[in-house]
Amino acid sequence: MGSTKKLGLLFAAALAMVFIAPAAAQAATADSPPPATASDSSDLNSLIASDPNAEFVSLEVAEKQYGFDPYAADTTESTVPVVTPFYAWWGCDWDAVSDYPHVSSGQASVHGYWVYNSGDCPATATVTVNLQALWCSGMWGCSWYTLATDVAIGVYPGSGTGHWATPHSPCATTSVVGWRGSVFVEPTDFWHPYGWTDGTPQNLSCSPPDPS
Amino acid sequence: MPDDVRRGRFVPLGDPEAARTDPAKRLPFDLSKLSVTGLVIVCELAPPPPGNPRPSMSMTMTQYLRLSDHSMIRLDMDRGVDTFKFGHTEPPSWKRTAAEVVAEVLTLILGDEPDPGSFPWPEYAEAARLRGISVDAEALRDLPHMVLLSDELAATFEF
Beta bridge partners of A108: A103, A169
pLDDT recorded at residue B48: 92
d(CA A148, CA A169): 6
Contact check, Cβ <8 Å, A95/B85: yes
DSSP-derived secondary structure for B119-143: --HHHHHHHHHHTT----HHHHTT-
Entry pTM: 0.80
Measured between alpha carbons, how far apart are the two ends of chain B, in Å?
59
Contact check, Cβ <8 Å, A198/B52: yes
Condensed to tens digits (0 to 9), the pLDDT of residues B8-45 reads 878 778 876 666 666 667 777 788 888 899 999 999 99
pLDDT, chain B, mean:
87
Least Cα separation, residue A1 to chain B (angstroms): 39
Task: Report chain A residues whose CB lies below 8 A from the CB of B120.
Answer: 104
Radius of gyration of chain A (CA): 21
Condensed to tens digits (0 to 9), the pLDDT of residues A90-146 reads 688 999 999 999 998 899 999 999 999 988 899 999 999 999 999 998 888 999 999
d(CA B85, CA B105): 19
ipTM score of complex: 0.84
CB within 8 Å of A184: residues ≥ 6 apart: A34, A35, A96, A127, A128, A129, A195, A196, A197
Condensed to tens digits (0 to 9), the pLDDT of residues A131-149 reads 999 999 888 899 999 999 9
B62 touches A at CB < 8 Å: no
| A161 alpha-carbon distance from chain centroid | 20
